Amino acid sequence: MNRKPPKSPVRPPTIRDVADRAGVSPATVSNTLSGLRGVTGDRRRAVLEAVEALGYKSNHMASSLRRGQTRTVGIVVPNLGNEFYSGLVRQWEKIASQSGFEILVVASGEDPVTEARRIESLIARRIDGLLVVAADDDFGSILGFPAGLPPTVLVDRARGHPQFDTVTSDNFDAGYRGTLHLLELGHRDITLLISSVNHAHLRDRVEGYRRALGEAGLAASEWVVFGGGTVEGCRAAIEQDLRRPRPPTAIFAATFYATLGAVKAINALELDYPDEVSLLGFEHSEWMTTVRPYISAIGQRVEELAHSAWQTLRQRISGEATDLARVLLPFRFAMRESTRPPKSVRELAALEAQRP
């Protein structure tokens, strides 16, 4: 009885196979998967599609062991219940998976003492690096480790720390351009609703608001309302403001919680927006385009922020980076339906239109 010879085992795809299928060099494949250098657009898409089609799995374990690395990154955020921070974590989880890394995520609860304990527990897991959205501006919990830290990148709440790479968004410009948008519509009574000014990035938004009003000759019209760190606090604060004898014609809600609080207050007072009051929100969330009128908003480019922070950390881990990184990203503006000229401006325009 003749027996068929055993089949040779199927050779697993190599990095060269991925490169050939994607039409790029092996170095481009390596850089895409490791995150050491930015590969964007069509080339990055082609590499990831080739990886999925071929079922390519990079054998990171052996090389990591040789370098004494765990291919694990620790991530510290203030609050996983905040949609912005959870969005960052989702992006980092996706990037890590594509790069052959694992992530360990902890939340500080906005408390520096808790943050220090969480970071200590991450260091005990022998992480290769840290991505930190800090609980406070002086970074005391981060600087307090006598043995030092692994490579660390400060994200979002950072202006340019002398010891760490920083990746953040231009919060001053967001406050300035958001206010300018409302001024250009004809608003002169603009309330800025913000959670607090406990962090530098929030103070930058307030300063941008003040700069825009000052340039318009309206410095005396400044009206900043603080709602604390909760949606309910923001709701109560802006509801009281809307009950003024001369209420604002526009609200610039300069945080995500402030935006939620403003919507609740406007609904509770049965006001129509933007007919009776315009609302400019902050951050981009799916619910803002679910219920009419759609919310005009300024938001951080979460995907770009996450990718830039990850790439900066990988360069620091690899030893490729020399100078400290100072990455400042622009915000994304989405002007939708919740902002329009105030009633007085609309009425004047209607009268002008009726003139022969």
Same fold, 15-57 and 171-301+333-351: no
Q: For domain 15-57, which CATH number applies: 1.10.260.40, 1.10.10.10, 3.40.50.620, 1.10.150.120?
A: 1.10.260.40
Say if CB 230 and CB 198 are below 8 A apart: no
**What's the CA gap between 106 and 128, in Å, rounded?**
16
- CA triplet 312, 316, 318: central angle to 5 degrees? 115
Residue length, the chain?
Answer: 356
pLDDT, tens digit, for every residue of 122-177?
Answer: 999 999 999 999 998 877 777 766 567 899 999 998 877 788 999 999 999 999 99
**What's the CA gap between 321 and 55, in Å, rounded?**
32
State the pTM of this model. 0.78
CATH number of 171-301+333-351: 3.40.50.2300
Residue 63: its pLDDT value, please?
A: 46
Question: Residue 339: which of 142, 219, 182 has the closest Cα?
Answer: 182
Question: Residue 309: which of 64, 133, 139 has the closest Cα?
Answer: 133
Adjacency order of strands within the sheet including 165-169: 102-107, 72-77, 129-132, 152-155, 165-169, 326-329
pLDDT, tens digit, for every residue of 177-233?
Answer: 999 999 999 999 999 999 888 889 999 999 999 999 999 999 877 899 999 889 999
Adjacency order of strands within the sheet including 296-299: 223-226, 190-194, 250-253, 278-282, 296-299, 332-334
Say if CB 157 and CB 199 are below 8 A apart: yes
Domain ranges of the chain: 15-57, 68-169+309-330, 171-301+333-351
Q: Which fold has domain 68-169+309-330?
A: Rossmann fold (3.40.50)
